[in-house]
Amino acid sequence: MCACCRLLSGKEVACDLLLEVKEAVSKLSGRPPCVVFLRVGNADASVAYVNQKKKRAAEVGIRSLLKVFDSETTTEQMLIDEVKRLNEDASVDGILVQAPLPDSMDFIKVINTIAPEKDVDGFCSINMGRLIQSEPAISPCTPAGIIELLKYYNVETAGKHVVIVNRSLIVGKPLSALLLRHGVLGDATVTVCHSRTKDLRSITQQADILILACGRPCCFDRFYVKKGAVVVDVGISRVPAQNERGYVLHGDANFEDLKGYVAAITPVPGGVGPMTVAMLMKNTLKAYHLCHH
Ligand code: GUN
């Protein structure tokens, strides 16, 4: 890493955030906050993500339960019925439905069933609507984590051109809303790109801050990036390799090519990933307070 290029480590920031949550949880009287994870099927990535979330929850004193549904025999209605039951359960503060769901289920329909105050992902239409209106809401974890990361490393966004290569409900849409807000860590000029964007390179080259989340490992090298830009890499892909695990993790950025060329870059792993999980713990604590109001 060249001296002029900063590594935006998410591990460090996440560690601070988790300590804050742990301390706050330890001061609560009564039962600890409780989050329920609903996972349909056993896709490797989903299993790994949910396990990570459970592990962090235990570390900060948050109780978590995992309910696994068979992808062959579970219907959308069965999942919705479970969400409705958890909405009514006073011992549960947070509900998270891990994406993706099988093609036979409508993710939006399922998450819109979650009570907004228990929606620790911040994906339901009420929380998304509040976010767009800049009203108090539970914010989606990955975008909120990116904002926290930029804040920690004093990366200004006001007046900057932020290019996001992702238009999903999980990253691109909510992140654009956060960056467009008036005030600190907002006031950016935001361009959202996607698979149908024409001449993507000519747009990413204009970014002061480039957010990558398209799942194309190592694709974005210096031909896509302005010299001195800040690169936030949300992509995380398993690339086959001859090691014990049989794969290595790569982001969308070509890290080796960019590290001496950009002003700052997040590593993969250890960048945005830990931030997402830390924000989920913060959101669970927030949900606990909303549920105990
Ligand atoms: N799948 C990938 N990222 C996420 C996330 O942040 N929340 C949920 N529920 N599913 C995901």
Q: Please report, for the chain, the start and end positions of each structural domain, with discontinuous segments joined by +.
A: 31-115, 140-273
Q: Is the pLDDT at 1 greater than 90, yes or no?
A: no
Domains 31-115 and 140-273 are alike in CATH topology: yes
Q: Is the pLDDT at 129 greater than 80, yes or no?
A: yes
Which superfamily is assigned to 31-115 in CATH? Answer: Leucine Dehydrogenase, chain A, domain 1 (3.40.50.10860)
In this structure, the residue with its CA closest to atom 8 of ligand 1 is 98
Q: Which residues of 159-197 are buried (b: 16+ CB within 10 A; e: fewer)?
A: ebbbbbbbbbbbbbbbbbbbbbbeeebbebebbbbeeeb
Q: How much is the pLDDT for 221?
A: 98
Q: What is the pLDDT of residues 51-100, one digit of tens each?
A: 999 999 999 999 999 999 999 999 999 999 999 999 999 999 999 999 99
Decide whether any atom of ligand 1 lies within 6 Å of the 121 Cβ. Answer: yes
Distance 45 CA to ligand 1 centre (A): 10
Q: Beta strand pairing status for 237-240 and 247-250? A: antiparallel
Residue in 10, 12, 15 with CA at minimum distance from that of residue 60 = 15
Q: Under the phi-then-psi rule, with left for phi > 0, alpha for psi from -120 to 50, and beta for the rest, what region is 228? A: left
The confidence band for 50, taking pLDDT boundaries of 50, 70 and 90, is: very high
Angle, in degrees to the nearest 10, between helices 10-26 and 272-291: 20
Give the bridge partners for 52, in sequence order. Answer: none
Q: Is 121 a catalytic residue?
A: yes
CA distance 94 to 83: 10
Distance 21 CA to ligand 1 centre (A): 20
Tell which atom from ligand 1 comes closest to the C-alpha of 140.
6
Mean pLDDT computed over 259-266: 97
CATH of 140-273, one of 3.40.5.50, 3.40.50.620, 3.40.50.720, 3.40.1030.10: 3.40.50.720
Question: How many alpha carbons lie under 13 Å from residue 196 in its C-beta half-sphere?
Answer: 1
Q: Which residues of 198-224 are buried (b: 16+ CB within 10 A; e: fewer)?
A: eebeebbbebbbbbbbbeebbbbeeeb
Distance 261 CA to ligand 1 centre (A): 31
pTM value?
A: 0.97
Q: What is the pLDDT of residues 140-188, one digit of tens each?
A: 999 999 999 999 999 999 999 999 999 999 999 999 999 999 999 999 9
